[in-house]
């Protein structure tokens, strides 16, 4: 089986494998678009485990994860949610951006994220014990939290934590070339632009240029779109709605790329 492409930054692969062997849950924290989900996908394939991914959001409830009773053909039947399936079948349950979920979600995962490794199903009266193959992985962006959406210490301290950051220049260039097939010169120019945006001071950006957005820009350019138009669509307009900020970003694109 071909593994999903992933280039380690440090010892995160080894740390993840140690956590899995010791039946420890993992928390991955880092900015948007730096490869957290790609890493989990890679590790699931590397370990030969099914992956149950959930994109957390404001309306995600505990029932969405655990399951609920449904009416089918006039009968009430129980349908497992992705978390319950992962516990029953064994595999990795990945909750992406866990802080976006409602508070009842964290209550559900607590007994799975400590020595108990159990999942109570109140509506069916079951208490599921997680098999050795089960692993709970969550991620979040600590730079995008606010007072109302923080990860409580009582939750955070149940996990082994990995911190992801932006790749160094050489690694990011290799990622762009591998993901898009672009030449080294274009990859270097886009990485230089990404780093210039990341170093901006006094600019109101909720997020800076991610590796994902640089990949998007490279794909558009490889597809024949002019460089400035590609960077405007993939970077400038994706990063801000403010006309003054986008004008400044576009000027930075012209300066760094010489367009």
How far is residue 116 CA from its own chain's centroid?
26
**pLDDT score of 259 more than 70:** no
What number is the average pLDDT over the span 172-181?
96
pLDDT-above-70 percentage for the chain: 96
Confidence category of residue 8, pLDDT binned at 50, 70, 90 = very high
Cα–Cα distance measured from residue 27 to residue 23, given in angstroms and rounded to the nearest whole number: 13
What number is the average pLDDT over the span 165-188?
96
Q: What is the mean pLDDT of the chain?
A: 92
Cα–Cα distance measured from residue 140 to residue 249, given in angstroms and rounded to the nearest whole number: 27
* pLDDT tens-digit series, residues 208-240: 899 999 999 999 999 999 999 999 999 999 999
**pLDDT score of 13 more than 50:** yes
pLDDT score recorded for residue 103: 83
**Is pTM, for the whole model, over 0.85?**
yes
pLDDT score recorded for residue 145: 54
pLDDT score recorded for residue 1: 58
DSSP annotation of 168: P
What number is the average pLDDT over the span 77-95?
96
What number is the average pLDDT over the span 163-182?
95
pLDDT score recorded for residue 3: 78
**pLDDT score of 147 more than 50:** no
What number is the average pLDDT over the span 69-84?
90
Confidence category of residue 151, pLDDT binned at 50, 70, 90 = confident
Q: How many helices (H) and strands (E) does the chain have?
A: 12, 9
Question: pLDDT higher for 103 or 44?
Answer: 44
Report which of 170, 174, 141, 168 is spatially closest to residue 5, judged by C-alpha positions.
174
**pLDDT score of 152 more than 90:** no
**pLDDT score of 120 more than 70:** yes
pLDDT score recorded for residue 144: 60
CA distances, 64 to each of 56, 81, 100, 128 (Å) = 10, 6, 14, 17
* pLDDT tens-digit series, residues 240-250: 999 999 999 99
């Amino acid at each position: 089986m071909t593994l999903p492409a992933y280039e380690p930054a440090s010892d995160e692969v080894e740390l993840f494998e140690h956590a899995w062997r010791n039946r420890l849950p993992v928390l991955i924290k880092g900015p948007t678009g730096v490869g957290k989900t790609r890493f989990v996908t890679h590790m699931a394939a590397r370990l030969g485990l099914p992956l149950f991914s959930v994109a957390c959001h404001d309306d995600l409830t505990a029932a969405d994860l655990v399951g609920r009773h449904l009416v089918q053909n006039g009968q009430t039947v129980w349908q497992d949610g992705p978390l319950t399936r992962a516990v029953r079948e064994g595999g990795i349950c990945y909750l992406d951006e866990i802080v976006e979920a409602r508070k009842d979600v964290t209550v559900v995962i607590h007994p799975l994220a400590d020595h108990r490794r159990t999942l109570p199903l109140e509506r069916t009266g079951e208490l599921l014990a997680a098999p050795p193959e089960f692993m709970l992985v969550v991620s979040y962006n600590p730079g995008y939290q606010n007072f109302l959406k923080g990860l409580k210490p009582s939750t955070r301290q149940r996990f082994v934590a990995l911190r992801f950051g932006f790749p160094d220049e050489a690694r990011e260039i290799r990622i762009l070339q591998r993901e898009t097939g672009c030449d080294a010169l274009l990859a270097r120019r886009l990485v230089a632009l990404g780093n210039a945006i990341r170093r901006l001071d006094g600019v109101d950006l909720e997020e800076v240029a991610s590796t994902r957005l640089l990949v998007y820009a490279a794909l558009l350019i490889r597809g024949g779109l002019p460089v400035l138009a590609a960077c405007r669509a993939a970077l400038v307009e994706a990063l801000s709605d403010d006309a003054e900020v986008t004008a400044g970003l576009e000027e930075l694109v012209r300066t760094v790329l010489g367009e």
